[in-house]
């Protein structure tokens, strides 16, 4: 008896093909299944989903958005302390007056920091008292930050 596929090698008992041909045909179907499983795993690893999963997720997302609209939101915590809210109008006024004075030429912005004498970064106007807006010290950003951290402007003298 010969193999039905290759007609050369002897066939095993009760089988139509020899071991080599049977292995090849099984190998092809197994390879297809393996490729299919590999692609599915790869899609899951990469975050790809089936169409049904995508639609279900979109419906769920829409439902959650509708629920969020119905529930009242809590007010955001303020970034400013109570003294900061008192200081803010004076702070803005002082900044605007310095800007106008520099623009008009009444104040000249130096090229160097008055503390470290470096030219790096922008030179900023630092106020000790916002009620005296044109009494400023010209500092680089790092010196200004250090000064404000060492002496926080909590107490405001009224104008």
For residues 57-80, one letter each, b for 16 or more C-beta atoms within 10 angstroms of the residue's C-beta and e for the rest, the string is: eeeeeeeeeeeeeeeeeeeeeeee
Burial class (CB in 10 A: 0-12, 13-18, 19+), 85: exposed
Residues 111-140: tens digit of each pLDDT: 888 888 887 778 889 888 888 888 999 999
Ordered per-residue pLDDT tens for the chain, 159 residues = 667 667 666 655 666 667 667 666 666 777 778 788 887 777 777 666 777 877 888 898 888 888 877 777 777 766 655 555 555 778 888 888 999 999 999 988 888 888 888 877 788 898 888 888 889 999 998 898 888 888 877 544 444
What does the chain come to in residues?
Answer: 159
Q: Which pLDDT value is given to residue 104? A: 92
User: 0.75 cut: is pTM over it?
Assistant: no
Q: Is there a contact between 32 and 39 (Cβ–Cβ < 8 Å)?
A: no
**Residue with tokens 């045909």, as numbered in its chain:** 25
Task: Tell me the domain boundaries of the chain.
Answer: 19-70, 82-150
């Amino acid at each position: 008896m010969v193999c039905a596929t290759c007609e050369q090698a002897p066939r095993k008992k009760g089988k139509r093909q020899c071991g080599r041909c049977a292995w090849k045909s099984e190998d092809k179907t197994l390879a297809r299944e393996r490729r299919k499983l590999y692609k599915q795993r790869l899609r899951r690893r990469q975050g790809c989903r089936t169409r049904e999963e995508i639609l279900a997720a979109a419906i769920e997302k829409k439902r959650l958005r509708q629920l969020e609209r119905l529930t009242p939101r809590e007010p955001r915590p303020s970034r400013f302390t109570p003294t900061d809210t008192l200081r803010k109008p004076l702070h803005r006024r002082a900044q605007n007056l310095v800007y106008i004075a520099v623009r008009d030429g009444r104040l000249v912005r130096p090229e160097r920091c008055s503390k470290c004498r470096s030219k790096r970064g922008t030179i900023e106007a630092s106020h000790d008292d916002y009620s005296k807006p044109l009494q400023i010290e010209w500092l680089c950003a790092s010196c200004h930050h250090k000064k404000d951290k060492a002496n926080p402007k909590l107490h405001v003298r009224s104008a």
